[in-house]
């Protein structure tokens, strides 16, 4: 599935929440991102080599100061989930936690990082599938919401997980009679010690001796989605519409060590972008609007995007404005797609979007790729 045929079948975004290093709350965070604010900080618990002095210096990253310090990866995810969910509830666009009838007809979709056993201990010890189920149960407990437990799902695809979650939400919305909406929670952190060691092992960090690496970040973002027909029937305010979502698997991804195969770099990303845009535009018609990308300073990702733009030069031409949240937040991993979606929706609301639609583009180091077309409410 790549497109959502018929306006009534579009997924409506009826709520959002966010927590990041530049703001607690989706309104403040997106305003800070628009103003290009950034709050990098030295990580005193992780050092890298300063080439000139040959001394160890703290790595610069984008932690959420005073919120996640001291927590291991799983603890950080839970904290981030709490933060963005509290923001969603505080806005008053959804009922309170005590509204059992509403939340019992809402299913939880967790978007998280690829459970790489080289990065995380728990999946290695428990097994990936057992860990997923255990974490979903813990997440539901922390949220204190009476959600539809049988419909909870995990999408551990890293950066591209949001596209997969949106596809699932649209498919289940039309088939499942007792679930009316989906709460998609995306969170990730690259600033815990285990993740930093994993990034360093693969030479991905931006350091004094490697200026083209990524700067680690962390964030949590959530979106509430439901069919637009259902949202309007219950009188919900529709903030934006998801017009299309496309998902693929890049063969020449970072861990394939095949990035030197230049003719194929970005081929899958190009294809899924074309599939998503074809759902809303005539063939070869240029897209005009914001492209919100997860470009993060790494060479492989820049190369992939460059080849993609070259292939899609008639689609992604002069009418495109490139937006890169990583410039302010660092790389937020699996949260990046949901962060980008929040940025797109707020840009429509505040009327600074460069077009009537925005394209969210995601590419994970393990190869999953996603493209989402989001449009201003009708």
Confidence of residue 318 (pLDDT cuts 50, 70, 90): confident
> Do residues 164 and 190 make contact, with C-beta atoms less than 8 angstroms apart?
no
Q: Is 338 helix (H, G, I), strand (E, B) or coil?
A: helix
- pLDDT of residue 319 exceeding 70, the answer is yes
Confidence of residue 123 (pLDDT cuts 50, 70, 90): very high
- pLDDT of residue 5 exceeding 60, the answer is no
Give pLDDT tens digits for 259-305.
Answer: 555 678 889 999 999 999 999 999 889 999 999 999 999 999 999 99
Which residues, in sequence order, are bridge partners of residue 48? Answer: 57
How many percent of the chain have pLDDT more than 70?
A: 96
Instruction: Provide the CB-side half-sphere exposure for 248 (13 A, CA).
Output: 23
First-to-last C-alpha distance (Å) of the chain: 22
Whether pTM > 0.85 for this model: the answer is: yes
pLDDT at 310: 94
pLDDT at 255: 83
pLDDT at 364: 95
Confidence of residue 1 (pLDDT cuts 50, 70, 90): very low
> Do residues 21 and 217 make contact, with C-beta atoms less than 8 angstroms apart?
yes
- pLDDT of residue 166 exceeding 70, the answer is yes
Comparison of pLDDT for 174 and 247, the residue scoring more: 247
What does the H/E/C string look like for 107-127?
EEEEEECCCCCCCCHHHHHHC
Give pLDDT tens digits for 66-110.
Answer: 999 989 999 999 999 999 999 999 999 999 999 999 999 999 999
Rounded CA gap, 209 and 195, in Å? 20
Give pLDDT tens digits for 197-239.
Answer: 999 999 999 998 888 999 999 999 999 999 999 999 999 999 9
């Amino acid at each position: 599935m790549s497109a959502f045929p018929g306006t009534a079948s579009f997924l409506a975004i009826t709520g959002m929440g966010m927590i990041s290093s530049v703001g607690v709350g989706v309104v403040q965070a997106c305003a800070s991102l628009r103003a290009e604010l950034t709050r990098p900080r030295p990580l005193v618990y992780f050092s890298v080599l300063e080439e000139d002095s040959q001394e160890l210096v703290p790595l610069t990253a984008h932690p959420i100061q005073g919120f996640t310090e001291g927590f291991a990866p799983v603890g950080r995810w839970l904290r981030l989930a709490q933060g963005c969910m509290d923001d969603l509830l505080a806005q008053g666009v959804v009922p309170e936690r005590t509204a059992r009838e509403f939340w019992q007809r809402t299913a939880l979709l967790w978007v998280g990082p690829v459970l790489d056993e080289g990065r995380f201990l728990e999946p290695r010890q428990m097994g990936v599938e057992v860990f997923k189920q255990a974490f979903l149960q813990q997440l539901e407990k922390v949220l204190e919401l009476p959600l539809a437990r049988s419909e909870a799902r995990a999408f551990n695809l890293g950066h591209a997980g949001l596209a997969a979650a949106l596809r699932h939400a649209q498919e289940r919305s039309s088939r499942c009679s007792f679930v009316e909406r989906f709460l998609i929670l995306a969170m990730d952190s690259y600033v815990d010690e285990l993740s930093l060691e994993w990034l360093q092992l693969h030479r991905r960090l931006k350091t004094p001796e490697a200026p083209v690496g990524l700067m680690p970040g962390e964030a949590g973002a959530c979106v509430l989605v439901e069919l637009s027909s259902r949202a309007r029937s219950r009188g919900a305010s529709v903030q934006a519409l998801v017009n299309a979502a496309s998902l693929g698997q890049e063969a020449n991804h970072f861990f394939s060590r095949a990035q030197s195969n230049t003719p194929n770099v970005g081929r899958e990303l190009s294809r899924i972008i074309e599939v998503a845009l074809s759902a809303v535009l005539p063939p070869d018609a240029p897209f005009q609007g914001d492209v919100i990308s997860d470009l993060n300073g790494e060479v492989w990702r820049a190369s992939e995007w460059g080849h993609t733009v070259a292939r899609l030069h008639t689609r992604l031409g002069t009418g495109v404005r490139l937006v890169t949240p990583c410039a302010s937040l660092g790389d937020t991993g699996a949260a990046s797609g949901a962060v980008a979606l929040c940025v797109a929706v707020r840009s429509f609301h505040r009327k600074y979007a460069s077009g009537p639609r925005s394209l969210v583009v995601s590419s994970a180091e393990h190869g999953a790729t996603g493209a989402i077309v989001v449009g201003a409410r009708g």
